[in-house]
A = this chain, B = another copy of it.
């Protein structure tokens, strides 16, 4: 995927920020250093004050870009989902075999991001780590219904729809394509997380992308055949 997106701007729902962080150098710095700091400290210990110290700005400046750290997390997750959607689209374009399309999509979803080629100011490798370990906190809140209504999760939904299309090509009769796809997406991250931290709950070992991919390919193909 090297350099593929150099001229593409990933779109994130604007209700997630106060001022678009892509619109200034400081905004980009907030995002790029924010990723590094959340990855280093974990979301609970991450604060705007610490981020301010890291980038040499007062925390009040960061508040002019993001209402609070929760919204920053939703923003980062959305960016990741939108980026993944592009990866899936490019990986499957021009491929005609339905099965091959599924396999290519799964490969894009399961691969552990390498640090060699960065999209602009964003470290996708660390962002992926954040999404794996922190992104569920973005929707397990009491405000989810309102935030959903306000479109906070549209990037994730877009990715899901994209994958539902690929599933439906293989079996248009299948009744649970959305359930299958959402189980897949969360399942991939869960298995990677377990592989690293709770190995007794999984058969995949750390950074073993192939096993994850093979498991979920088997899952989808056999369900579409028998479901």
> Which among A156, A177, A178 has the greatest number of chain B C-beta atoms within 10 A?
A178
Q: Using an 8 Å CB-CB cutoff, how does the interface string of A156-183 with B read, 1 for contact, 0 for none?
A: 1100100000000000000111111111
Instruction: Choose among B181, B198, B204 the residue that contacts A153 (Cβ–Cβ < 8 A).
Output: B198
Q: Report yes or no: B201 in contact with A178, Cβ–Cβ below 8 A.
A: yes
Looking across the interface, which residue of chain B has its beta carbon closest to that of A142?
B42
Contact B225 A203 (CB under 8 A): no
Interface-facing stretch out of A8-16, A59-67, A117-125, A132-140: A132-140
A144 contact set on B, CB distance < 8 A: 197-198
A191 to B186, CA, bound (A): 11
B222–A203 contact, CB under 8 A?
Answer: no
**Contact partners of A53 in chain B: CB under 8 A:** none
The yes or no answer to A58 lying at the interface (CB within 8 A) is: no
Q: Which of these, B178, B182, B197, B222, contacts A145 with CB under 8 Å?
A: B197
Known: A218-B227, A222-B225. A178 touches B197 (CB 8 A): no
Evaluate contact between A142 and B223: CB separation under 8 angstroms.
Answer: no
Known A141-B44, A142-B45, A145-B197; judge A204-B225 contact (CB<8 A).
Answer: no
B182 touches A202 (CB 8 A): yes
Question: Please, which residue of chain B has its CB at the minimum distance from the CB of A156?
Answer: B201
CA distance A136 to B186 in the complex (A): 12
Residue numbers of A with Cβ under 8 A of B are 41-42, 44-45, 133-134, 136-137, 139-142, 144-145, 148, 153, 156-157, 160, 175-183, 186-187, 190-191, 193-194, 197-198, 200-204, 211, 215, 218-219, 221-223, 225-227
Give 8 A-B contacts (CB < 8 Å), ordered by A residue: A137-B140, A144-B197, A153-B198, A178-B202, A187-B187, A218-B227, A222-B222, A225-B226
